[in-house]
Structure 1
Amino acid sequence: MTTHKIAVIPGDGIGPEVVNEAVKVLELLKKLDPSFEIEFETFDWSSEYYLRHGKMMPEDALDTLKKYDAILFGAIGDKRVPDDVTIWELIMPIRKNFKQYINLRPVKLLKGVPCRYMDENIDFVIVRENAEGEYSNSGGRLYPGMEQEIAVQNTIITRTGTKKVARFAFEYAKRQGKRTVTSATKSNAIIHSMKLWDEAVNEVGKDFPAIHLQSYYIDALAAYFVLRPGDFEVVVASNLFGDILSDLGSAVVGGLGLSPSANLNPEGDFPSMFEPVHGSAPDIAGKGIANPIAQIWSAALMLEHLGREDLAAVILDAIEQVLVQKEVRTPDLGGSSTTSEMGSSIRAAIQQLQFVKEGRSR
């Protein structure tokens, strides 16, 4: 029996609170399913760590993380530490050095969450390029502090990188029985990098004749997310566009507290990392009212990646059962329940599903 070794990085703000609930869910599954073995090791790399040591993580952190099968990440961000430090000294090194070039973000209207739209069938994924694009550390500033100061930020779009993310999107669509892939672009105005993006995506699309490729300019696509979100199945986008669209998608289906994500190295050469879309939410940190669903769902995505789709399905079923019952709701969902109450309710729902007796375990 394989033991899955998980590195846990709770991070800042509400990160430790929601990660705690996700770990409890995984520990419950381990208890209920004899075929599921999982071990955790927690690392305190965070803004507090930075304030003590002058860096977000140790020099050998990446070598340490390589030993694990996956990384469960909470959130990062603290007003005492500049955001570019927390991002570029913790999350970005992990994503880039571990070649987590796919950021997968489901946008799904869960049962029990009020719908703002006529069409309640909102269920698509955003496949975001995660290693290059607009979030490339390329550029600089001249004449700092002077009137003639110049800032240059280069967008790095490669044919190879774009084709890899496009192929993942089409293969995902094929596996899931989807019929359409939507590409986010702005090649009418960003005439070099985005035209290369279009060319590379179109080239990959020819290998999947059964799947329709449609391309929309990012501004129009953002409007369509609001006007007709039920029309989409798989959306592929560059780093910045995918980041913005996924937050918009989260708002469409109920908020950031319900939105998970996966930073994937599809080849499995390095561990993949799983985290909620939301940030550290310092305004509610320590109050015990953060919604842990996004973090728990991110743990479910981790289980899918590790080959336990059966357990991932149990988690999602339990989340929806709690939401449908409407007895436990955190403030972001219009209720007054605590983080721990939501987590406890989801664990209780898992136990009620009795998935081991129903033959779901293996």
Structure 2
Amino acid sequence: MSAPRTFRIAAIPADGVGTEVVAAGRAVLDALAAGSSGRFAFDWTDFPWGCGYYEKTGRMMDEDGLEVLQDFDALYFGAVGWPSVPDHVSLWGLRLRICQNFDQWANVRPVHFHPGITSPLRKADDTPLDWVVVRENSEGEYAGLGGRNLAGRGPGNEVALQTSLFTEKGCERIMRFAFDLARERDRKKVSSVTKSNAQQHGMVLWDEVFERVAADYPDVETESVLVDAMSATFVLHPEDLSVVVASNLNADILSDLGSALAGSLGLAASANLNPDHRFPSMFEPVHGSAPDIAGRGLANPIGAIGSAALMLDHFGLEEEATRVRKALDATTGSGLLTPDVGGTATTDQVVAAVLDNL
């Protein structure tokens, strides 16, 4: 028997329902550890950062927060954002600060159709659907380059520039990640999302790198699709998808569309990975902080628990990750659902059912 391992996890629930869903995921992870016969354990450290922290201190996180987080094996994140704090302040001050400084360049967002949850797609009733969006997570449209100028010329004359950044190395590494992932799936196919007909510099480079990388994976089917056409494919022909690789903005939008097609953003898991293991990776549900239901015990914990399963995969605990996913499917298949997917169950009731189904 191998020596037991303790994984040090930084918990950052942040705002709104983030507190509730992180607690849900922790309960599942701790239950797995408790039943592992000592093979592994989780050592949790809580951080109170977020919009509430900003209102008290003027910062979304401690000044030395990145230095502190660097020593952890992984980060478990809830949701960021609150009506009292501008979204660009909350996002750049916490989540993007972590992702970009820790070079978490691969964002993985599976689109999974859970049994018992009604999809707005009629095709989902009788067609197996399961794909994953791989998002370039370090540059592209969210590089943070640009500025606002000419305000001194008077009202109506200000100019804002938002510059996308595409590097050959950044494109290549996310594409190779997508191809390697495709080789592990039943359908070995990578769909590249582009807009090179209108964005003649960055996205043309993206296309050229994709064509070059694809040549190294002759066993993987490929296609290059304009983002507007890919949006239609998500709705009309999702059975043709396996791995979809896209830039920061395009993948962000498409992955939300995929989750909505699966039934709710509350179902969507994600992993912000530093595949080089130079920094800790971060795992989080895709949904926002949902101020309208925060504190009412109605948040859907499936996205957060699914993100915990991605964390288990990252740690090499694939068997436990599979158990979690099967427990989620068994829970939704039994009809125990939160209000966002047409049910009446509370967060705690869903968590209790998942624990029973483990």
Q: Same fold (TM over 0.5)?
A: yes
- 2:31 aligns with 28
Residue pairs, 1:205-244, within 5 angstroms: 205-244=214-253
- 1:137 aligns with 144
- 1:62 aligns with 66
Residue pairs, 1:1-362, within 5 angstroms: 1-34=4-37, 35-115=39-119, 116-118=121-123, 119-144=126-151, 146-326=155-335, 328-350=336-358
Equivalent position SS for 2:108: strand
Following TM superposition, by how much is the alpha carbon of 1:302 offset from its aligned partner in structure 2, in angstroms?
0.4
Following TM superposition, by how much is the alpha carbon of 1:177 offset from its aligned partner in structure 2, in angstroms?
4.2
Give TM-score, length-normalised by structure 1.
0.95
What RMSD, in angstroms, separates the aligned Cα atoms of the two structures? 1.0
Aligned mates of 1:139, 1:133 — CA distance in 2: 13
Following TM superposition, by how much is the alpha carbon of 1:300 offset from its aligned partner in structure 2, in angstroms?
0.5
Aligned mates of 2:187, 2:219 — CA distance in 1: 10
Q: Percent identity?
A: 47
Equivalent AA in structure 1 for residue 74 of structure 2: A
Aligned mates of 2:303, 2:322 — CA distance in 1: 15
Aligned mates of 2:235, 2:290 — CA distance in 1: 24
Aligned mates of 2:8, 2:156 — CA distance in 1: 53
- C-alpha contact 1:292 1:342 (8 A) present in aligned 2: yes
Equivalent AA in structure 1 for residue 79 of structure 2: A
Following TM superposition, by how much is the alpha carbon of 1:335 offset from its aligned partner in structure 2, in angstroms?
1.1
Per-residue deviation, residues 263-294 of structure 1 (Å, max 9, x unmatched): 00001111000000101011111111010000
Per-residue deviation, residues 303-342 of structure 1 (Å, max 9, x unmatched): 100110111100000000011111x211011111111111
- C-alpha contact 2:9 2:73 (8 A) present in aligned 1: yes
Aligned mates of 2:263, 2:28 — CA distance in 1: 22
**Any gaps of 5 or more consecutive residues in structure 2?**
none
Following TM superposition, by how much is the alpha carbon of 1:232 offset from its aligned partner in structure 2, in angstroms?
0.1
Following TM superposition, by how much is the alpha carbon of 1:175 offset from its aligned partner in structure 2, in angstroms?
2.3
Equivalent position SS for 1:175: coil
Aligned mates of 1:87, 1:300 — CA distance in 2: 24
Aligned mates of 1:117, 1:64 — CA distance in 2: 48
Aligned mates of 2:134, 2:146 — CA distance in 1: 26
Equivalent AA in structure 1 for residue 68 of structure 2: T
Following TM superposition, by how much is the alpha carbon of 1:120 offset from its aligned partner in structure 2, in angstroms?
2.7
Aligned residues: 349
- C-alpha contact 2:193 2:226 (8 A) present in aligned 1: yes
Equivalent AA in structure 2 for residue 81 of structure 1: V
Per-residue deviation, residues 121-140 of structure 1 (Å, max 9, x unmatched): 11010000000000011111
Following TM superposition, by how much is the alpha carbon of 1:114 offset from its aligned partner in structure 2, in angstroms?
2.4
Equivalent AA in structure 2 for residue 232 of structure 1: L
Aligned mates of 1:203, 1:63 — CA distance in 2: 37
Equivalent position SS for 2:293: coil
Following TM superposition, by how much is the alpha carbon of 1:6 offset from its aligned partner in structure 2, in angstroms?
0.5
Aligned mates of 1:177, 1:265 — CA distance in 2: 25
- C-alpha contact 2:118 2:341 (8 A) present in aligned 1: no
Aligned mates of 1:244, 1:125 — CA distance in 2: 13
Equivalent AA in structure 2 for residue 70 of structure 1: A
